Amino acid sequence: MGCNCKGGGAKQITNRLDSPDHIQYGKDVYSRVVAPDPTKEFNDLDKVEIMGAYSSLYPNSSVTPSLDDAISKIKEAIELYDVKYTRRK
């Protein structure tokens, strides 16, 4: 018996940048926690929310980013989604 890894199992998701629900979660966290004062010192709850949003968008990331990197990746994901999947009028 093997692990059946290549036997047509479910494809591993590397990121969820095309998922409206995950992008919305990232937008909510960004607008509520980061956007009001991006230069503030984040408390532990803020850090957990930011890292949770990052993990939601990038579930199989092999590295744990710094807080600044996580914030920039969340912002990039939101901007990319807006460009690719929404129409600007």
pLDDT, tens digit (0-9, with 9 covering 90-100), for 49-83: 999 999 999 998 888 999 999 999 999 999 998 88
- How far apart, in Å, do the first and last CA atoms of the chain sit? 56
CA distance 67 to 53: 11
Q: What is the pTM of this model?
A: 0.78
Please write the tens of the pLDDT for every residue from 16-55. Answer: 888 889 999 999 999 999 998 878 899 999 999 999 999 9
What per-residue string of b and e applies to 39-56 under the rule 16 or more CB within 10 Å gives b? eeebeeebeebbbebbeb
